[in-house]
Structure 1
Amino acid sequence: MVDPVRVDVQGLTKTFGQVRAVDDLSFTVEPGQVTGFLGPNGAGKTTTLRMALGLITPDRGGTAFNGVPYTALPEPMRQVGAVLETAFHPARSGRDHLRVYARAAGLPVGRADEVLDQVGLGPAGRRRAGGYSLGMRQRLGLATALLGDPAVLVLDEPANGLDPEGIQWLRGFLRHLSHDQGRTVLVSSHLLSEVEQTVDRVVIVGAGRLVRQGSMAELRAGAGSGDVLVRSPQAAVLAELLRSAGATAVTTDGVPDGLTVSGLTTAEIGARAFTGGVELHELRAHASGLEEVYFRLTAGSEQYAAGPAGKDAA
């Protein structure tokens, strides 16, 4: 276990020319958890991460790691490991790449072999990094972030280029680092289905501002549709029965005998069906997935919004 480190982002603001890239953004990242950092292209995610790591100076606000800004940390690589982009000399082996970083940070060069094994690159460590696949380069970047055995990991799109097996490995690895070892993990990603299976908490930004933060359960509850899904062989009869009680009941696309009902709870629908003698095969509240919640919360904050797809979308 590592000593827990909490990351506090407070009032970060950054303007480039006439563009407000980040606007009074505040959120927290807790130790022992994986936090997903989500938002459309142009939402300010990368700018936020760069400000947090001292690569860009904010106009206002700041980021603290247990109360200390990154630029004031005595040994930053031992406290915060980051992968914002993977850069390496193509003629240098992955092992030598890591040894250069280790020497520069005052770390034992033996850490290079240790982290190569951690990320599954041990057998390829002596190969030239220029011949690595995109997924292998991502693992090399992660190995670089782990050199100092940091309590905090900040990763920008770490699953980019990984094959399904690699993505599954990354999911388990990040949860091991956070849940089993107590590290603080902040992951920016566009792979919503993968984020949903990996993270404990989510921070969503749009147009440089905080849209929502919280656990996955809190996110779903806060953005829930309130709909109830019902299946019945007497769907038409049930729909009329529920409409007469003031509810909205429409056919559920792709679900035989299915209705999507709003305006009544599951208990109220069940009671109405019972008194009306209607047989039910399924009755449950609609559970929103992360993708549905994400698009609902970020609607209108996209930098680029495409028109409808299809033959009539000329």
Structure 2
Amino acid sequence: MRVEVSGLSKSFGPVRAVSDLGFTVEPASITGFLGPNGAGKTTTLRMLLGLVRPDSGSATFDGVPYAALPRPLRTVGAVLETAFHPARTGRDHLRVYCRAAGLPVSRADEVLAQVGLADAGRRRAGGYSLGMRQRLALATALLGDPAVLVLDEPANGLDPEGIQWLRGFLRHLAHDQGRTVLVSSHLLSEVEQTVDRVVIVGGGRLVREGSMEDLRSGAEGAGSVLVRSPDAARLAELLRADGALVDLDGEGLTVTGLTTAEIGGRAFAAGVELHELRSRSSGLEEIYFQLTAGREQYAATAPAEETAR
């Protein structure tokens, strides 16, 4: 099922939270939804789920808005926050949702097993850790066996083992079962290891949308080669003579216009010793900060140097 956001805008009084935002979330893939605090991510997700009415634009699931879905819980599973009655067991929490949605109560035990809470299902949710509450929220989203999952910060509170489990679980849902997964997160290193596509917003507007490969190829410095040599100055002259663009900094060179193989061959022929030779590959964190620079809602100033006493 394809999710499409088109021309979405929303203001709260004088504050423009989302402005003419558009992007798509493809089936059988995981899309990361990223942006600084105040970028409009939560407002967008709430409009997508019919919790906030947009001023203009639309958000649809295969062309149908959430409010018009005949069986929304069986189409879209969402986790925007974790809220449970502390005296109710995890199993009973899920059974309440089953009855409200007309689902068999047996689904409660099935989804508890899916998220690794089978042994904790009869414990009161008030005694759950934050990570366990996140798993219970995910179990709630899975009750209707939905084609689409919309998850806001699902890794918060999970330990490293839990984060690794979540990564594999989401990949299974998307890649093996063909579901559409939209994940909002600030854990950029984890997002990079999990998602297939990225949507980055800032100031309520779309900044960039595309696959991880698209982002890397369009990043500043993409396609360059990093070289380190004790004879860097001579190597720089040789590479410039071959038409390369070379930025020299001590023993390090950043080279554009030649491949690693071409640089290695040129250095070998000239008898230049190399200590490092690798293609530059920008990580998601570097790309993210390049794209969102100046779009932060709360930007801290650099700490001033302490005055000598």
Q: Normalised by the size of structure 2, how large is the TM-score?
A: 0.93
* Equivalent pairs, count: 304
Aligned to 1:247: 245
- Specify whether residues 119 and 310 from structure 1 end up closer, same or farther in structure 2 by C-alpha distance, changes over 3 A only: farther
Q: Note the alpha carbon deviations across 1:251-280, whole angstroms, 9 max, x for none.
A: 38xxxx5x2314433366456535644233
Rounded Cα–Cα distance in structure 2 between residues aligned with 1:94 and 1:202: 33
Matched letter for residue 52 of structure 1: L
Matched letter for residue 229 of structure 1: L
Larger displacement relative to structure 2 (240-249 or 201-210): 240-249
Rounded Cα–Cα distance in structure 2 between residues aligned with 1:62 and 1:312: 52
Q: Note the alpha carbon deviations across 1:26-61, whole angstroms, 9 max, x for none.
A: 000011001000000000000000000000000001
Matches within 5 A, 1:209-224: 209-224=205-220
Rounded Cα–Cα distance in structure 2 between residues aligned with 1:261 and 1:287: 12
Larger displacement relative to structure 2 (278-287 or 105-114): 278-287
RMSD: 2.0
Larger displacement relative to structure 2 (187-196 or 284-293): 284-293
1:297 equivalent among 278, 291, 294: 291
Q: Is this contact kept in 1: 2:227–2:274, CA < 8 A?
A: yes
Per-residue deviation, 1:311:
4.2
Q: Is this contact kept in 1: 2:2–2:25, CA < 8 A?
A: yes
- The 3-state SS of whatever aligns with 2:9 is strand
Is 1:231 paired with 2:231? no
- The 3-state SS of whatever aligns with 1:165 is helix
- The 3-state SS of whatever aligns with 1:307 is coil
Rounded Cα–Cα distance in structure 2 between residues aligned with 1:152 and 1:237: 57
- Specify whether residues 176 and 309 from structure 1 end up closer, same or farther in structure 2 by C-alpha distance, changes over 3 A only: farther
Q: Is this contact kept in 2: 1:230–1:283, CA < 8 A?
A: yes
Aligned to 1:35: 31
Aligned to 1:91: 87
Matches within 5 A, 1:68-217: 68-217=64-213
Unaligned regions of 5+ residues in structure 1, if any?
none
Matched letter for residue 22 of structure 2: S
Matched letter for residue 288 of structure 1: S
Rounded Cα–Cα distance in structure 2 between residues aligned with 1:125 and 1:91: 13
Rounded Cα–Cα distance in structure 1 between residues aligned with 2:21 and 2:306: 40
Per-residue deviation, 1:299:
0.6
Per-residue deviation, 1:222:
1.3
- Specify whether residues 305 and 262 from structure 1 end up closer, same or farther in structure 2 by C-alpha distance, changes over 3 A only: farther
Q: Is this contact kept in 2: 1:92–1:128, CA < 8 A?
A: yes
Q: Is this contact kept in 1: 2:227–2:255, CA < 8 A?
A: no
Unaligned regions of 5+ residues in structure 2, if any?
none
Identity over aligned pairs, percent: 75
Rounded Cα–Cα distance in structure 2 between residues aligned with 1:283 and 1:213: 31
Aligned to 1:261: 254
Q: Is this contact kept in 1: 2:226–2:255, CA < 8 A?
A: no
Q: Normalised by the size of structure 1, how large is the TM-score?
A: 0.91
Q: Is this contact kept in 1: 2:232–2:253, CA < 8 A?
A: no
Matched letter for residue 283 of structure 1: L
